[in-house]
Chains A and B, each alone.
Chain A
């Protein structure tokens, strides 16, 4: 399975600022996803990062707030823009190799953001 490196692992941010999270994979992958996990909650899919084109966002998430880039098959970034305390969450990158429903997802360790 793929090995995922997420940076930063944690950060404390000020209200109104933006932070970019990086996801680097050690091999080429078919699909990359970004999830959010709010305190004490399950994971919520933010978007699918598409190589060379705009990400596909889930209901409730918009590009202006969570711009995503994926310049190649091994790297993606998620920016959390104009942060507020409600954005305090763990943000996780996930990847899958292959396009079958049998293909499993591998998750990064997550980036824990605290917004003051």
Chain B
């Protein structure tokens, strides 16, 4: 599976935007970029995914570089409930499974 690289940790203040980067320089043409997050004491939950174009949903936005070698998860207004570990994962059609890296620990300050 293609590998992703994320910063170990990031900090933000409440009500401010957060940009979580992810590098995936070995991404293949069939890899979807998925983001999941894991709140304390919970299983991971889906945040957003995309293939080539930028994506928006009620939780976040996903900005994908033109060459697809990197992407950024954008939380438009961080809240204390957004404090979690955020995982950037590449998922191939034929395999189905998700391979988790270490993720980025997001701390949100009041």
| Interface, chain A (partner B; CB < 8 A) | 1, 30-31, 33, 35, 42-45, 48, 92, 94, 96, 99-110
Query: In the complex, what residues of A have CB within 8 A of residue B93's CB?
Result: 99-101
Query: In the complex, what residues of A have CB within 8 A of residue B85's CB?
Result: 42
Contacting A at CB under 8 A, from B15-48, are 30-32, 34, 36, 42-46
| Interface, chain B (partner A; CB < 8 A) | 30-32, 34, 36, 42-46, 49, 51, 85, 87, 91-94, 96-103
Contact of A48 with B96 at beta-carbon distance under 8 Å, contacts A102-B51, A104-B34, A104-B49 already known? yes
Contact of A108 with B43 at beta-carbon distance under 8 Å, contacts A101-B31, A101-B92 already known? yes
Tell me if B's interface is mostly helix, strand, loop or mixed: loop
Query: In the complex, what residues of B have CB within 8 A of residue A109's CB?
Result: 42-43
Query: In the complex, what residues of A have CB within 8 A of residue B91's CB?
Result: 101
Q: Report Cα–Cα, A103/B87, bound state, in Å.
A: 16
Q: Report Cα–Cα, A108/B38, bound state, in Å.
A: 12
Closest 5 pairs between A and B when the two form their complex, measured CB to CB: A107-B43, A101-B93, A101-B32, A43-B100, A104-B46
